[in-house]
Structure 1
Amino acid sequence: MTTTSDKNSTPLASSPLVNPRKRNSRKKARSPNPEGMPPKSPRAQTTSLESIQILPRTPRTPRPERWAPQDGEPIDEVELSLLGEEERRQAAEGTSLEDEMDHLSQRGVQKSMTSKDRNAVMLLVILYLIQGFPLGLALGSVPFLLREHLSYSQLAIFSLASYPYSLKLFWSPVVDSFFFPSIGRRKSWILPMQLIIGSIMLIISFNAEEYMNNPAEHIYSISIAFTALVTFSATQDIAVDGWALTLLSEDMLSYAATCQTIGLNTGYFASFTVFLALNSETFAAKWGIPRLTLGAYLQFCSVFSFAVTLWLLFVKEDTESAEEGISIGTVYKTMWRIVKLKNIQTLCILHLFSKIGWAANDAVTQLKMVEKGLGREDLAIAVLIDFPFQIFGGYVAGKWSRGENPLRPWMYAFWPRLFLALVATLTVYYFPKPPIHLGFFMFLVLQTVTQSFAGTIQFGGMSAFHTRVSDPVVGGTYMTLLATFTNLGGTWPRFFVLKGVDFFSVATCQIKEVGQELTVKASECVSEHGKQACKDLGGECVTERDGYYIVTGVCMALGAISVFTYMIPTARKLQKLPISKWRVFS
């Protein structure tokens, strides 16, 4: 495998990424200082990255070719003498012409989508779709299947399988640096990752039924298998995120978030909702169709992944993206430079705690509803109705996020998400005994639709903001850094939420015998398997205190306080910053 560091021996002048005018002016600027010229600042140190010049994607005012400083004349004075009144005003205020042009282009007339952009959108949707398959299984359907046999604490072990998707930052520089130039910078990673994803799914499919029937005996094997699956999906996501920055034109970059929303949600929907419905024996008997097993579905996903990989062999990647010579060490240093930006640190803190308000709702609420009698097929129908609204939400977020306020939809959807988390908690508390009547089911559908729509709006707005501020020089690393903290904000609380539900819960197994009643405190009563074991002994599980309500209340309280004091005020400040504040390269 070839690294981009191997290309450093190529003369920089031959690189298509170098602007000849800038190269000439740089040579002049580095000539010996004329007499009287101020000495060079000791902070102006050069790195290997400073030798790379990216042709601007927004208009600049070019410098005259024959410009050169006169003897005894400071460079800064000459530079300002070439600027007009408006440009001098911008320089005095600390803003650049590039920032002003970027601001004007955002407020100007938006261009229509070209055929090239439409093809790029289709490609991105399909690539994100492949990621949605394993994520829908790891975060959705498999926990539901395991819930029938495991406690929440045991489910917490399996929840660790989702962590690699939130930690992909640590190996993203490798993806940005190592590639085969003949294949393409992004395809060098996307192709093998999709082959591995399909192979792992195929291997798991041979033992899937045994895993689901006896999960307690195979909990670590299941967790390791899905951890590997999510890890390779995360690696594919790094390459796809970086490719999105060059596949789409400048005016259509906000639609990268729309592609991700549609692709991921579709794959997640297929692996979660559609699979749960077709896997249900009740649903299959009701509609007279064969039951879809987990093994058969994994084989379908495997074949789909192989087919897309084969099709991708005939898709040509832009050769310019494979000629950017950045070594892996330089990318890690660049990542550190990005992290040191004050606004990046602020944004990462925002991501880590922005989802705490509905963390318990996302992790446990649907499991609680199924525990209280909601059939998996009913849940599948509710999410099936919700799916078109998720797609529409992704489109709305993409349209709404274009312009100078990309975080506006993210901020507006904050309060509805907190309110809907409270509604969901009350729904669990007042959940009726089965069978569920039509009116209550329609209420569940409405709740599901509004909750997911608000979540999709938030996701799309934040993803559009990431696409806007990311530096294309290290696009994969930059996008992955931001996406890592976004995902981590929803992932890290999950383990503690699931553990907390069991920790704060008090359940007993009451065994009635002739003339006496025996009460045994049993932590197993928090799982369906434990309830069945208690029933086999002639007893009944009684929950005296449900830790779900305690954990949910704490999360919502923290979320409500953080909205006032930090989240929305900070988001408003961040989106007002000029693009130059998010760059590590001048």
Structure 2
Amino acid sequence: MRTNTPREPMAVTSSLNSIHISPRTPRTPRPNMGDEDEDDVELSLLNEEERNRSGQDFQDDVSTVSEPEDVSKRPISAKDKRGMVLLCVLYLLQGIPLGLALGSVPFLLKEHLSYSQLAVFALSSYPYSLKLLWSPIVDSLFFKSFGRRKSWIVPMQLIVGSLMLYISLNVQRLMLDPANNVGELTTIFTMLVMFSATQDIAVDGWALTLLSQDCLSYASTCQTIGLNTGFFASFTVFLAFNSEAFAQKWGVPHLTLSGYLRFWSIVCYLVTVWLIFFKKEDKEPITEADMSIKAVYKTIWTICQLRHVQLLIIVHLFAKIGFAANDAATGLKLVEKGFKREDLALVVLIDFPFQIMGGWLAAKWSRGDRPLRPWIYAFWPRLVFALIAALIVYWFPHPPISMGFFVLMVVHTVLSSFASTVQFVGISAFHTRVSDPLIGGTYMTLLNTFTNMGGTWPKYFVLKGIDLFSVATCEVPKAGIDVLARECISDHGKALCKEIGGTCVTKSDGYYIVSAICLAFGVIFLVAFIIPTSRKLQKLPTSVWRVKM
């Protein structure tokens, strides 16, 4: 059991520029709670003083725990600045494999695989959303002399670097015939994402102690900058420089997947060596509960039993269905329609600085007693832009595309990703605010797991659904030939059609049906559940998110 020295609770502020998190308060045992309502159950997690305070109006709660204004104006110390740089670098190294698995590799495989096969490869992104299953192990087992977080970050980065080196040495064999290597490709990238996710657990926990309390909210901004930079380096920059047409047009060297992977494997090794010899981790107070994996799993279960946490989990699991089809398939459809990969990469590359700016603006907009307000508002533009994306695919002009249409693509991408960034930073800041630092990265990972899962689990069904609802036949130009291939959805059907000299013609594209289903669900769920639930959750005082270890 943890023991806390009696003291006044830390002040809590909803400002993203200065977030203080109250310490966990032990729960006073109560003999019988069977006849009490759910609110009384939650209030039993607080001490007497906090229960009295929680009974007041929510607005009084906010004013009671708000921090003095001058705290948010304190200058950032040199130690915090170094910590922010380190966090950005560590999150950057996580974004590199994620950008490959979720971004560029599916585009490279699209020419050779069906949407159903791409759905299988999409399973490689699942470990990042399931890291909660082993986060207690990361949080509880470590070498005290080496550092609680470095004990996991160092080996994970070495493994990730080695896996990227392995892929670089075998990329020609794997990509030459990807249809017969889908299993191996999925396995390798699943391992790559899994070890990156394990590193993310340790980095999330380190962020809660690496930065001072006054600068704690900047952890989500560092995550946004680092992950986005790594993701776009592996997605947009790589796709552009990987295109021979782009290299010839702009006179830049042609970048191969093998060379790109070798470069980042070396960077992983160099950063790891620096961490080993030049970065000393501050000692954290270790208690018996910290060392017990069972205790951490029990704490996760206790957290999940809180009614407001359960509501937040439901919100996360279904919040992204509305734009799931857009996120999973629109880019692939544009390339299929004739939009060049290097042009798509250039569009997203132009969007990158706006993503960074969106992160800073979202941090400012999340200030006050309604931190989830920008996250809620951003749902509407994301749904609208998902609808516009489907219309762009439907009315996509025959190549080459005009400059006006290219500008439309840029504007649409910038605005859509800006809304996405606002949501990402807003919900990450909210998680940082309510997470208990005494459990390290486990609390953050618990909440982030369901956020990531909400965007990951629909992808498989979206890609499968496109093939399921699509109708395509094989047309042979020569009259009198018996058509052997009656459909051109499966790889077998496409192969038969090619053998008889036919052409696959799509009669009905399942992309539009799946998009309509996702958008309809997204609007209904947003109005009926997400908005009222989120407004209720953001009014709760920080203390009710604490549980007894």
What is the alpha-carbon distance in structure 2 between the residues aligned to residue 131 and residue 558 of structure 1? 32
Structure 1 residue 121, shift from structure 2 partner: 1.0
- Counterpart for residue 92 of structure 2: 129
Q: Which amino acid is 1:394 matched to?
A: G
Q: Does the CA contact (< 8 Å) of 1:411 and 1:568 recur in 2?
A: yes
Equivalent positions of 1:86-235 (< 5 A) are 90=53, 93=56, 102-105=65-68, 109-235=72-198
* Kept after mapping to 2: 8 A contact 1:106/1:404: no
2:522: which partner in 1? 559
Q: How much does 1:20 deviate?
A: 7.7
| C-alpha distance 401-295 of structure 1, shift in aligned 2 (>3 A) | same
**2:428, 2:304 → 1: CA distance?**
18
**Hey, what's the Cα distance between the residues in 1 that align with 2:69 and 2:318?**
30
Is this contact kept in 2: 1:508–1:519, CA < 8 A? no
Q: Which amino acid aligns with 2:538?
A: Q
Q: 1:416 aligns with which of 381, 391, 398?
A: 381
Give the corresponding residue for 2:334.
369
- For residues 275 and 64 of structure 2, the distance between their equivalents in structure 1, rounded to whole angstroms, comes to 36
Report the AA paired with residue 200 of structure 1. Answer: L
Q: How many angstroms apart in 2 are the aligned matches of 1:579 and 1:21?
A: 17
**2-side partners of 1:454 and 1:40: how far apart?**
45
1:298 matched residue in structure 2? 261
Q: What is the CA distance between 1:410 and its match in structure 2?
A: 0.5
The offset of 1:315, in angstroms, is: 1.4
For residues 504-559 of structure 1, give each alpha carbon's deviation from its aligned partner in whole angstroms, at most 9, with x where no partner exists.
0011110122556747322347x7x9768745643221100000000000000000
- Could you say what secondary structure the match of 2:472 adopts? strand
Tell me, in whole angstroms, the C-alpha distance in 2 between the residues paired with 1:152 and 1:322.
Answer: 49
**Structure 1 residue 290, shift from structure 2 partner:** 3.1
Q: 1:395 to 1:388 in 2, by over 3 A?
A: same
Amino acid at match of 1:363: A
In the other structure, the counterpart of 2:400 is 435
Report the 3-state secondary structure (helix = DSSP H, G, I; strand = E; otherwise coil) of the residue aligned with 2:405.
Answer: helix
**Partner of 2:283 in structure 1?**
319
State how 1:170-569 maps to structure 2 within 5 Å: 170-313=133-276, 314-321=278-285, 325-326=289-290, 327-514=292-479, 518=483, 520-524=485-489, 534=497, 537-569=500-532
CA distance in 2, matches of 1:218, 1:269: 26
Whole-angstrom CA distance in 2 between matches of 1:257 and 1:352: 20
CA–CA distance in 1 between the matches of 2:331 and 2:406? 14
Distance 1:232 1:537 in 2: 46
Q: Which amino acid aligns with 1:317?
A: E
Q: How many angstroms does 1:212 deviate by?
A: 1.4
Instruction: Give the match's secondary structure for 2:473.
Output: strand
Give 3-state SS (helix, strand or coil) of 1:206's partner. Answer: helix
1:442–1:536 distance in 2 versus 1, CA, 3 Å = farther
Per-residue Cα deviation, 1:354-397 (whole angstroms, up to 9, x for no partner):
00000000000010000000001100110110010111111112
* 1:229 Cα deviation after fit: 0.4
Q: Answer 1 or 2: higher relative contact order, Cα 8 Å, separation at least 6.
A: 2
Q: Cα–Cα, structure 1 residues 177 and 389, in superposed 2: closer, same or farther, change >3 Å?
A: same
**1:181·1:322 contact (CA, 8 Å) conserved in 2?**
no
Give the letter for the 1:296 counterpart: G
Give the deviation of 1:41 after TM superposition.
4.4
Alpha-carbon distance in structure 2 between the residues aligned to 1:452 and 1:514: 49
The one-character-per-residue Cα deviations of 1:126-161 (angstroms, maximum 9, x if unpaired) are 110010001000000000011110000011110000
What residue is the counterpart of 1:47 in the other structure? none
Q: Distance in 1 between matches of 2:200 and 2:453?
A: 15
Conserved 8 A contact 2:467-2:489: no
Q: Which stretch of structure 1 is more off in the superposition, 268-277 or 281-290? A: 281-290
Aligned partner letter, 2:279: V
Change (3 A) 1:20 1:351: closer
1:419 to partner: Cα distance: 0.2
Name the SS for the 1:544 alignment partner.
strand
How many angstroms apart in 1 are the aligned matches of 2:121 and 2:356? Answer: 29
What are the Cα deviations for residues 321-343 of structure 1, in whole angstroms up to 9, with x where unaligned?
55675211111111111111111
Taking a change above 3 Å as real, the CA distance of residues 360 and 152 of structure 1, as seen in their structure-2 partners, is: same
Cα distance in structure 2, aligned partners of 1:370 and 1:245:
41
Q: TM-score, normalised on structure 1?
A: 0.83
Secondary structure of the residue aligned to 1:541 is strand
Q: Distance in 2 between matches of 1:398 and 1:429?
A: 36
In 2, distance between residues paired with 1:146 and 1:116?
Answer: 44
- After TM superposition, the structure 1 = structure 2 runs for residues 64-79 of structure 1, keeping only pairs within 5 Å, are none
Which residue of 1 is the match for residue 37 of structure 2?
none
Give the distance between the partners of 2:114 and 2:481, measured in 1 at CA.
29
Task: Write the deviation string for residues 94-130 of structure 1: whole angstroms up to 9, x where unpaired.
Answer: 99x9976533458975433222221111111111001
Deviation at 1:216, TM superposition (A): 0.8
Provide the C-alpha distance between the structure 1 equivalents of 2:29 and 2:338, rounded to a whole number of angstroms. 74
Q: Secondary structure, in 3 states, of the residue corresponding to 2:296?
A: helix
Cα 1:99–1:398 change in 2 (3 A) is: closer
Q: What is the distance in 1 between the residues matched to 2:150 and 2:518?
A: 41
- Letter of the structure 1 residue corresponding to residue 5 of structure 2: N
Find out whether 1:570 has 2:520 as its counterpart: no
Conserved 8 A contact 1:106-1:402: no
Distance 1:216 1:132 in 2: 26
Q: CA deviation at 1:287?
A: 2.2
Distance 2:7 2:398 in 1: 75
Paired-residue identity, % = 61
Amino acid at match of 2:463: L
Structure 2: how far apart are the matches of 1:449 and 1:88?
Answer: 46
Equivalent residues, number: 515
- Structure 1 distance, partners of 2:200, 2:345, is 27
Provide the secondary structure at the position in 1 that maps to 2:255: coil
Corresponding residue of 2:5: 19
In structure 1, the residue matched to 2:545 is 582
CA-based RMSD: 2.8
Question: Which residue matches 1:61?
Answer: none
Asked if structure 1 preserves the Cα contact closer than 8 Å seen for 2:471 and 2:507, the reply is yes
